[in-house]
A and B are shown apart, each in its own frame.
Chain A
Amino acid sequence: ETGVTQTPRHLVMGMTNKKSLKCEQHLGHNAMYWYKQSAKKPLELMFVYSLEERVENNSVPSRFSPECPNSSHLFLHLHTLQPEDSALYLCASSQELGRGPYSNQPQHFGDGTRLSIL
């Protein structure tokens, strides 16, 4: 157990559906992240939240909408997705958002949601 739980583990949806991915961390961390992992591409950072405030959205299409109601929960709301959005979506958390040259913030990952867009 990594202390970060993602649900659902698998999701198949049509392009017109609306669904949400959920992430919950039991580590008392203050920073949470959404990443996208596609085949043959490096892990891509999508969103970062620190103390429930979004730090950056990294130019992610608006069909992805994050929500962080408290420091333990993170959601990714999906609507009108495209086939190229099929990927593994990973949530991670760290004690704090690392700052400066002496940062020491390993990230703890959930097992991801495998998303398939029909």
Chain B
Amino acid sequence: SQQGEEDPQALSIQEGENATMNCSYKTSINNLQWYRQNSGRGLVHLILIRSNEREKHSGRLRVTLDTSKKSSSLLITASRAADTASYFCATDEAWVAAGNKLTFGGGTRVLVKP
């Protein structure tokens, strides 16, 4: 089964509301990253939180990490129509002797209605 799993799979909100999505994972991680993907485009890195951090902010984004529960959340405050996208968590974990790898979850599709 996959390392990161997002919840919910889809989310529909009105512009101005907050959007919260969660990510759960199974094994020990070095860091956890969140990415955004607009339709027909590649993934864009949003924020990285290390395993020894509990909360991080970047603009309207707030990420929390609870390593005891193996979970993370992404909060988008005061959402805008331009925030409509799929959001993915990715866990950075030990992989081979040469280095780590990112394992992506299935994503949360967010629709922000104007």
Residues of A that sit less than 8 Å from B by CB: 2, 4, 6, 31, 40-43, 45, 48, 50, 55-56, 90, 92, 97-112
Check B100 against A98 for contact (C-beta < 8 Å). yes
Provide the residues of chain A in CB contact with B103, threshold 8 Å: 42, 45
Bound Cα distance A50, B95 (Å): 14
Provide the residues of chain A in CB contact with B33, threshold 8 Å: 106
Bound Cα distance A108, B44 (Å): 7
Bound Cα distance A103, B95 (Å): 12
From A42, A55, A97, give the contact of B2 (CB < 8 A): A42
Bound Cα distance A42, B51 (Å): 22
Tell me the B84-102 residues at the A interface (CB within 8 Å): 88, 92, 94-96, 98-102
Contacts A43-B104, A103-B99 aside, 8 further interface pairs with beta carbons under 8 A come to A31-B99, A43-B43, A45-B102, A55-B99, A97-B98, A97-B100, A98-B30, A102-B30
Between A and B, 20 residue pairs with Cβ closer than 8 Å are: A4-B42, A6-B42, A41-B106, A42-B106, A48-B99, A56-B98, A92-B42, A92-B43, A97-B98, A98-B92, A101-B51, A102-B30, A103-B31, A103-B92, A103-B99, A104-B48, A106-B45, A107-B43, A109-B43, A110-B42
Bound Cα distance A69, B96 (Å): 23
Bound Cα distance A97, B103 (Å): 14
Residues of B that sit less than 8 Å from A by CB: 2, 4, 30-31, 33, 35, 40-45, 48, 50-51, 88, 92, 94-96, 98-107
- Identify whether the interface residues of A are mostly helix, strand, loop, or mixed: loop
Provide the residues of chain A in CB contact with B99, threshold 8 Å: 31, 48, 50, 55, 97-99, 103
Provide the residues of chain B in CB contact with A56, threshold 8 Å: 95-96, 98
Bound Cα distance A55, B97 (Å): 9
Q: Tell me which of B30, B35, B42 has the highest count of chain A C-beta atoms within 10 A of its own C-beta.
A: B42
